[in-house]
Amino acid sequence: MSSNTVGILLLIGGFLVLMAIRVPIAFALGISSLVTAWYIGIPSLFVAQRMVNGLFSFTFLAVPFFILAGQIMSEGGISERLVRFADVLVGRFRGGLAQVNIVASTFFGGISGSSVADVASIGSFLIPAMAKRGYKPEYAVAVTVTSSVQGVLIPPSQNMIYYALAAGGLPIGQLFLAGYIPGLLLGLALMLLAVVLAWRQKHPAGVRYGWRDGLRTALDASIGLFTMVIIVGGIVGGIFTATESAAVALVYAVFVTVFVYRTMNKAAVLRVLRESLGTLAMVIAIIMTSSAFGFLLSYLKVPSLLAEAIFMVSREPWIVLLAINALLIILGMLMDMGVLILILTPILLPIVKSVGVDPIHFGIILLVNLGIGLCTPPVGTSLIVGCSIANTSIERTTRTLLPFYAAMIGVLMLITYVPALSLALPSFFR
């Protein structure tokens, strides 16, 4: 057995073993990288340098700003306002509360950029509200967790920034624009499914609002939704870089929640900042160790070996993409989304580029695949959070999720084989 083969086994096998015995992800990446580097003769100091270099990106500074802005807007009551606005728009129809859930996730995804934050924030009061209106708790969880995937597609998405960094510095503005149509398409597919299920299962209709109440609610919600204009409009218009827009969005979030909505004070803002430190530390540690892990994957020629294995089956682009989609869905069920983006992008991006797939287009394919993984057992983070809110089992909820999985995979196939859905907006604004 060659030293390269042993190195690959040590790197990937060691990481999987450490994950299996519940070693934290950052430590699993770091330990397996150090052991592999020692075996193949790479100095440990060089591995440490690769870890530090993983943070040497001005774009990376956008991540903590986006995380803080999303948490402040969530804590500051923006999610309740978005739900009321969504209720005004679609709540009157049969099964309206499910439609409200999906539309609210569309709006909230444009502020938080996180599927799990969406489920924790909107789901904390919409899941119990749906149960009180006569919806099954499993159905309420299914609607909430699948619609929350829009949060990883509609800007600002932290996972898009991870992909841009792992891909060698793709333009964030183009990635943000590429996510809009796929994100809205996913929301539309889920809404159509909810309509069908509402008539089949005779879900209740919602409340009809007067135009004055509706206008007041829309104006109240628009203050928070202006965050999306700041982020995307600033980047596309050339006013801000991604990092600058994230910083401005954070300042705006603090201003709105403290001085406009008056739902937070200085002590609450400081508490959110303290609570965010743990998340930020975890993100930094994972990015550092995954940088070393990714370097060793390239050094051991794992991308070329995987490409050879795929090309042995076929070099047809549609078959290559189908094989990669299958691989991503399986891995998304087993591992965290952010880590997979950082590990898999350096491996898979050269393969898809060799068959003519645009890196921006592939980024959206990657995000949709791994977003489905957030809703699937055994490691689906959003699914676990949703089931804990509803106090229901993952097994019962998974059975209810089957038609939702079919809708999401249908959208994935459309996005995969119709590149214009992802590339139309970036091309237009370019």
| Rounded mean pLDDT, 320-349 | 88
Query: Of 375 and 122, which is predicted with more confidence?
Result: 375
Residue 355 corresponds to which amino acid?
V
Lowest mean pLDDT among 3-7, 60-64, 100-104, 422-426: 60-64
Query: Of 71 and 362, which is predicted with more confidence?
Result: 362
Residue in 408, 392, 337, 344 with CA at minimum distance from that of residue 135: 392
| pLDDT at 210 exceeding the cut of 80 | no
Q: Is the pTM of this model over 0.85?
A: yes
Rounded to whole angstroms, what are the CA distances from 374 to 205, 237, 258, 346, 396?
29, 33, 33, 21, 17
Query: Of 112 and 7, which is predicted with more confidence?
Result: 7
Measured between alpha carbons, how far is 107 from 150 in angstroms, rounded to an integer?
9
Neighbouring C-beta atoms of residue 169, cutoff 10 Å: 11
Measured between alpha carbons, how far is 366 from 331 in angstroms, rounded to an integer?
11
Residue 249 corresponds to which amino acid?
A
In the beta sheet, which residues pair with residue 97? Answer: none
Tens-digit pLDDT profile for residues 229-265: 887 778 777 788 777 888 888 888 888 888 888 888 8
Question: What pLDDT was estimated at residue 181?
Answer: 95
Q: Which pLDDT band, with edges at 50, 70 and 90, does 301 fall under?
A: confident
Q: Which pLDDT band, with edges at 50, 70 and 90, does 123 fall under?
A: confident
Measured between alpha carbons, how far is 109 from 117 in angstroms, rounded to an integer?
9
Q: 107 with 81: CB under 8 angstroms?
A: no
| pLDDT at 91 exceeding the cut of 80 | no
CA 230 to chain centre: 20
| Rounded mean pLDDT, 330-341 | 84
Measured between alpha carbons, how far is 180 from 190 in angstroms, rounded to an integer?
16
Number of H helices, E strands in the chain: 22, 0
Residue in 76, 160, 70 with CA at minimum distance from that of residue 111: 70
Average pLDDT over all residues of the chain: 86
In the beta sheet, which residues pair with residue 187? Answer: none
Give the dihedral of Cα atoms 314, 319, 320, 325; nearest 10 deg: -150
Measured between alpha carbons, how far is 168 from 185 in angstroms, rounded to an integer?
28
| pLDDT at 16 exceeding the cut of 70 | yes
In the beta sheet, which residues pair with residue 205? Answer: 94
| pLDDT at 79 exceeding the cut of 80 | no
Q: 91 with 206: CB under 8 angstroms?
A: yes
Three-class secondary structure of residue 190 per DSSP: helix
| Those residues with Cβ within 8 angstroms of residue 420's Cβ, 6 or more apart along the chain or in another chain | none
Question: What pLDDT was estimated at residue 357?
Answer: 95
Question: What pLDDT was estimated at residue 62?
Answer: 78
* DSSP output for 328-350: HHHHHTTS-HHHHHHHHHHHHHH
In the beta sheet, which residues pair with residue 94? Answer: 205
Three-class secondary structure of residue 94 per DSSP: strand
Handedness of CA 123, 113, 289, 284 (dihedral sign): negative
Percent of the chain residues topping a pLDDT of 90? 28
Measured between alpha carbons, how far is 147 from 352 in angstroms, rounded to an integer?
28
Residue in 276, 260, 351, 266 with CA at minimum distance from that of residue 64: 276
Identify which of 32-36, 156-160, 362-366 has the greatest average pLDDT: 362-366
Measured between alpha carbons, how far is 269 from 254 in angstroms, rounded to an integer?
8
| pLDDT at 36 exceeding the cut of 90 | yes
Question: What pLDDT was estimated at residue 343?
Answer: 87
Lowest mean pLDDT among 69-83, 156-170, 215-229, 292-306: 69-83
| pLDDT at 415 exceeding the cut of 90 | yes
Backbone angles phi, psi at 167, to 5 degrees: -85, 5
Identify which of 152-156, 201-205, 238-242 has the greatest average pLDDT: 152-156
Q: Which pLDDT band, with edges at 50, 70 and 90, does 1 fall under?
A: low
- In the block, which residue shows the tokens 């959110």? 272
Question: What pLDDT was estimated at residue 57?
Answer: 66
| Rounded mean pLDDT, 335-348 | 86
Handedness of CA 255, 260, 263, 265 (dihedral sign): positive
Lowest mean pLDDT among 73-82, 289-298, 319-328: 73-82
Query: What token pair was written down for 355?
Result: 């068959």
Question: What pLDDT was estimated at residue 416?
Answer: 97
- In the block, which residue shows the tokens 């993409």? 321
| Rounded mean pLDDT, 138-166 | 90
Question: What pLDDT was estimated at residue 220?
Answer: 84
Query: Of 82 and 403, which is predicted with more confidence?
Result: 403
Percent of the chain residues topping a pLDDT of 70? 98
Question: What pLDDT was estimated at residue 324?
Answer: 93
| pLDDT at 74 exceeding the cut of 80 | no
| Rounded mean pLDDT, 68-73 | 79
| Rounded mean pLDDT, 267-293 | 83
Measured between alpha carbons, how far is 66 from 63 in angstroms, rounded to an integer?
5
Give the total residue count for the chain: 430
Apex CA 326: angle with CA 164 and CA 403, to 5°?
Answer: 105
Question: What pLDDT was estimated at residue 58?
Answer: 63
Question: What pLDDT was estimated at residue 163?
Answer: 93
Measured between alpha carbons, how far is 328 from 375 in angstroms, rounded to an integer?
14
